[in-house]
Amino acid sequence: MAFVETMFFLLIQHLVSASSNAVIGHLQSPHHSLIADKAALLEFKKAIVYDPYSKLANWKEATDVCKFTGVSCNFTDVSCNFTGVSCNTQHYRVSDLILKDYALAGTLSPFISNLTGLRNLVLVGNHFYGTIPAEIGLLRRLHRLLLEGNNFHGSIPDSLALPSDLTTVSLLQNNLTGAIPPTLFSNCSMLAVLDLSNNLLSGKIPIEIGNCPKLWSLNLYNNQFTGELPLFLTNSSLVNLDVEYNHLSGELPIKFVQKLPNILYLHLSNNDMVSHDGNTNLDPFFSAITNCTSLEELELAGMGLGGILPTSIGGLGINFTNLLLQENQIFGSIPPNIGNLSKLVVLNLTSNRLNGTISANISQLSNLEQLFLSHNLFTGAIPAALGQMTHLGLLDLSDNSFSGDIPSSIGNLVSLNYLFLNNNLLSGSIPPTLGHCIQLYKLDLSYNRLTGSIPPQLLGLSEIRIFINLSHNQLEGPIPIELSKLEDVQEMDLSSNNLSGSIFPQISSCIALTLINFSHNSLEGKLPDSIGELKNLESLDISGNRFSGKIPLSLNNSRTLTYLNLSFNNFEGMIPSGGIFEAVSYKSFLGNQHLCGTVSFRPACPHKMHLFRSHIFLILFSLVIFISTSLSILCSVIAIWHIQALISAQRTATARKPTQPELVHSFPRVTYRDLSDATNGFDDQRLIGTGSYGRVYRGVLPNGTTIAVKVLQLQSGNSTKSFTRECQVLRRIRHRNLIRIITACSLPDFKAIVLPYMANGSLESCLYQHSKTGLRSGSSDLSLIQRVNICSDIAEGMAYLHHHSPVKVIHCDLKPSNVLLNNDMTALVSDFGIARLLIAGGGNSALENMGNSTANMLFGSIGYIAPEYGYGSNASTKGDVYSFGVLVLEMVTRKRPTDDMFVGELNLHRWVKNHCHGRVEKVVDFSLMRASRDQSAEVRKMWDVAIGELIELGILCTQESPSTRPTMLDAADDLDRLKRYLCGDTTATFAPSLGISSSTLDDD
């Protein structure tokens, strides 16, 4: 009833405003016929607020829309002056308004309804916003309505049912919401194409869609539709149905396909459908679909479908070209009769549980262009018969358990562009015949057991444009000079092999290189100066080799180089200055004993005069060394006696002073000598971290236990008190996400805390280091799921400190460098050197009196300090919450809060908040965005939700006012739900305890 009333109102309004002009136009000359249309077009132009190319500049009051000449009974010429406008020569009216890809921005004026002769309205690829005006329904002669690629929001107007001649409606790629109005199909006898994809539409697909007998193409993909496919759709003439990336449920639609024998394209991927018999049987559906003899494409990816791949798959139609079944739970082997699909072009079975060997019958797919079998459980040899599939352009067999040699017959695939055999158990040598694949763009043979040398024929493939990855094998011999022919290759990874020889100067011919990773080989000689001529180089890693000589000065001329690792070689001399050398840390030069320079922790280079004097005194030094050694032995005996006396005295004093930190008696005793032996005399090569407190060394105890020894810098006035405080905190807490103390060593001139060694280092090193395994630079190895898990671990540990610990603890210095990651990437909060203890009393909590040690100490590190601390506020749990929020935003953006871009009023919080309601991808870490693009659309949706939740949590925790921040319990609870959501728990909801909303985020 409401629909009828709305339409009646619109009709009355339209008749009042436009009928007189329309009548005059049809009865008088062509000039007068276009008066109403011209007025409507000028009103349309007024609503345009942005016309970057001035496409509508010729739409003027003084200009005629169209001119008609040569009018006769049988012939009329027409010329139109308004861009994008065409006129009908029979009725002298505007018939077409086609403004495609003009980048116009504005609202769609309702005056467009006065173009009563309009047949085609095409506004594709612009920036129109607002709602779709209901007045469009008054365009009774409209045949095609194409509004795709804009920013329209709101619901689909009911009035679109009025034009009875509509054949095509495309509202693709907007921001439309709500359900599809059933009334849309009340007058659809001519409708042939309906495309509502890439919106935010929800609800069920209305059964009234069955009223459209001529409908042959229906695209509803990438929305939020629920329920089952309505069987009434089979009343139409469908040959194309695409409902991918929704939440449609039920069993795979057998009855549906049985009633549509002429369907050509059936795309059901990434929904919630299941196979028959409780998601265990695929045969009923595939048997039914074999009756669709015209079928060309079937896509059932990303649904978790279970069952074996049935033999009925071989009965699909003779025109069948595309089969997508990736990301399911299909097990068993590939049926040999799949070779019957002689016209198959794409076969994707990635990420299933398929096993067994690959039958040679697969070579019968003579027209196959793309074969994806990665991330399964295949074993045995790669069949040599694959070399017969001469049309193959992509072959992906990665992440299986294939063994044996790489078949030389793969070299017959002259059309091959992408070859991925990585992460298998392949052995033997690389066949030189791969060099016949002259169109190869990507080659990945990494993480296998390949031996022998790199065949020169392989590196003669000048067409390799993107990357070549031979890392993590057992290749040996020199790097062939033919490598210099790869002028277009962007990334080259030969790391973790047994390669020898040197790098030749001709490497500068690879002008497109952005990444070189030759680390962990046995390469030697000098690093050629020509490597600095690579103008696009972003990452260079040659660590773990035997290079010698001086570091090439040419490297400091590179404007693109952002990552450099020369560690564990034999370089000597001064470290160059300028360019990349101003940005790198000492970690880039570890293990090069003969380097010197201005980089921290490297010795300063001696002056020439100093060198001369050192030669003079060398003989004198040799003469006195014997005497010095003797005296050292005597002093050591005396020192040991004094140290034992001091330790005894200290224990006595400790027993008399209960206010000093008392180490648990079960902690193992360790001496200075033990720690010195464990760390090889506190050797710089064992250094794993530094800070204002001192240094941390990796050590190994006699029983084989690997430890981290935190040595306090006693020159700092607060070091002793920091040591006392950290011992006091660590002995009172126990949680899986908090670092535990093994023991401590305290002498008057030496204090150290012994902690478990964390193999994965700190969160900061993982977040900002170059990828260890791959072909990307300037990125982090941490995946989104790992980042969410780490944030959750930190929140759990902090929640324990604030709410569950026997003595409440305020950390006061939470930041990535104080979060450690163990072997399984579990995060542990560490470094309690400036922590505060809260003592409960009388219903209130007060800071424990720890003397004046922290009276003038800043609560935290720059960038992570809560703003209220700057006004003299006492340390509080809400200050820790602020630091946690900064850390969360840092995890998402991979931007330090101290980044140079944050100047004046702009900080990390404001920068992220300015984008959180718009183009959030501008602030998200590029490595996360890149990884997202490699996922299925369903996974991308989940990642978008997760990133949005992390951003909102970070913004909420970093609000200006402490009272508006959540507690760590709230944050931990929210992150736990987010973890469950990413693990597939559809019942997980977000932020009810935090109250996150747009209004909340806008308060501060």
Any idea which residue has 């003592």 for tokens? 839
Helix (H, G, I), strand (E, B) or coil at 801: helix
Phi, psi dihedrals of residue 699, rounded to the nearest 5°: -135, 160
Rounded CA-CA distance 445/835 in Å is: 50
Rounded CA-CA distance 941/221 in Å is: 13
Environment class of residue 147 by beta-carbon count within 10 Å: exposed (0-12), middle (13-18) or buried (19+)? buried
Phi, psi dihedrals of residue 636, rounded to the nearest 5°: -65, -40
> According to the 3-state scheme, what is the secondary structure of 726-771?
HHHHHCCCCCCCECCCCEEEEECCEEEEEEECCCCCEHHHHHHCCC
Q: What angle do CA 725, 728, 729 make, to 5 degrees?
A: 90
Amino acid at 272: D
Rounded CA-CA distance 470/464 in Å is: 13
Rounded CA-CA distance 730/859 in Å is: 19
Rounded CA-CA distance 119/96 in Å is: 6
In a 13 Å sphere around the CA of 469, the CA atoms on its Cβ side amount to 22
Rounded CA-CA distance 15/794 in Å is: 66
Environment class of residue 481 by beta-carbon count within 10 Å: exposed (0-12), middle (13-18) or buried (19+)? middle
**What are the C-alpha distances in Å from 314 to residues 98, 265, 333, 364?**
46, 18, 14, 12
Active site residue 158: no
DSSP-assigned letter for residue 229: P
Would you say 710 is a known binding-site residue? yes
Residue (of 809, 914, 796, 816) closest to 863 by Cα position: 816
Q: Which two tokens stand for residue 113?
A: 């309804």
Residue (of 485, 474, 486, 580) closest to 532 by Cα position: 580
The residues, any chain, with a CB within 8 Å of residue 224's CB and separated by 6 or more, are 200, 201, 202, 246, 247
Q: Which two tokens stand for residue 333?
A: 């082997």
Rounded CA-CA distance 798/815 in Å is: 12
Any idea which residue has 């300037």 for tokens? 778
Q: Cβ(233)–Cβ(242) under 8 Å?
A: no
Angle at which helices 784-799 and 968-982 cross, to 10°? 150
Residue (of 883, 928, 593) closest to 780 by Cα position: 928
For 991: left if phi > 0, alpha if psi spans -120 to 50, otherwise beta; the answer is: left
Q: Cβ(128)–Cβ(108) under 8 Å?
A: yes
Q: Cβ(551)–Cβ(531) under 8 Å?
A: no
Q: Cβ(295)–Cβ(316) under 8 Å?
A: yes
Q: Cβ(539)–Cβ(562) under 8 Å?
A: yes
Q: Considering the candidates 813, 831, 970, 973, report the single residue annotated as catalytic.
A: 813
Residue (of 485, 494, 576, 567) closest to 529 by Cα position: 576
Q: Which two tokens stand for residue 458?
A: 């392989």
Q: Is the dihedral of CA 405, 408, 413, 417 positive or negative?
A: positive
Amino acid at 52: P
Q: Which residues carry out catalysis?
A: 813
Residues in the annotated binding site for ATP: 710
